[in-house]
Amino acid sequence: MKITQDDFSTLHRFPVHWGDMDSAKHVNNLVYLRWAETARVIYFTAIGVNADFAPGATGAILAYQDCKYTFPMTYPDTALVGVRTADISDDRFTMETAIFSETHGRLAAVTRQVIVPYDYGKLQKAPMPEEWLENIARLG
């Protein structure tokens, strides 16, 4: 399946900085994961994930992530980063982030993250909060 910018309800823009490149003269692999992380945190805010880690609060734990690099971005460029929920289970959901090169109009990387609701008071997994599910459905 081909992933396009139209597959995402929002795109976040991140400029490529000269210092994002490595000795191979393309954006370092870690930078893609930082862009995905920032987009993920913005998404968490939109779905109501608690970020204060207070006892008794349900927050999110990143349980797994991967990244497939499809095109080497370079300076100057702008990364367009879309994020969405790809799958929901009783005790976790899977997010997908796509990073597009604005200059070249193409997909540069795709990441997947497994997110587990976590009860910081009990220090254990928690069921999926209803608020998260409702807001995920609302975002589409």
Contacts of 72 (CB under 8 A, 6+ apart): 24, 26, 27, 108
Task: Return d(Cα 67, Cα 108) in angstroms, integer.
Answer: 10
Domain boundaries of the chain, sorted by first residue: 5-132
- Specify the CATH architecture of the domain 5-132: Roll (3.10)
pLDDT digits (tens, 9 = 90+) for 2-51: 999 999 988 999 999 999 999 999 999 999 999 999 999 999 999 999 87
Q: Read off the pTM.
A: 0.93
Rounded to 5 degrees, what are φ and ψ at 32?
A: -60, -40
